[in-house]
A and B are shown apart, each in its own frame.
Chain A
Amino acid sequence: DAGVIQSPRHEVTEMGQEVTLRCKPISGHNSLFWYRQTMMRGLELLIYFNNNVPIDDSGMPEDRFSAKMPNASFSTLKIQPSEPRDSAVYFCASRPLAGGPQETQYFGPGTRLLVL
């Protein structure tokens, strides 16, 4: 089975530009998570979806960040406008809901974002 797929793997952009990160969860997984990882703040949960519905977006840093999950196999995280402090590695993870709290989250390879 394919794991979580993220694209692009690397993104370099200039301040003020729009950035869109994409994620395809593992087939059959109906819970999807977006994380951001930096040296200073570690691995932080930004938002998660259950059955394509956003459940908790309390980690989204500000209105410049938005996330959507239009169907069970695709999600996007958008930053508009981007700022240098958004530079980080963004991970997408997925898990099945059926197994309850004991189910593991599986991480994608991440998107390394650099905003100049």
Chain B
Amino acid sequence: QKEVEQNSGPLSVPEGAIASLNCTYSDRGSQSFFWYRQYSGKSPELIMSIYSNGDKEDGRFTAQLNKASQYVSLLIRDSQPSDSATYLCAPSGAAGNKLTFGGGTRVLVKP
């Protein structure tokens, strides 16, 4: 079992729809959870971070965390073609400093 599991996709969504991305992790000691977006040929950039169970909203993005289920998700509302990218889930380790990245979910938003 991988430490961080994500559906590789591609997740194809029409413009204006909601994209739902899921991530499960194995380290119960993980304290912080990060979602990075990576465009092809570019470096990862932070989209959202979440530390407590529940929902956290930032603009069109909502992160959801359930530590008991070891599950974190990202919702992208009103998806735009510019959201087409690979989204990487990254829980921190128990010590808090080290991130373990999932394989990423590729999202395609079609006009």
Contacts and interface: CB of A to CB of B under 8 A. Distances in A.
A91 B41 CA distance: 12
Contacts of A104: 34, 46, 49
Interface stretch (B16-24, B64-72, B75-83, B96-104): B96-104
B73 interface: no
A95 to B, nearest CB: 8
Interface stretch (A14-22, A40-48, A67-75, A79-87): A40-48
Interface residues of B, number: 22
B34 to A, nearest CB: 7
A105 B92 CA distance: 11
B88 interface: yes
Given A43-B88, A102-B49, A107 B43 contact: yes
A56 B98 contact: yes
A91 B103 contact: no
Nearest to A55: B97
B98 to A, nearest CB: 6
Contacts of A97: 97
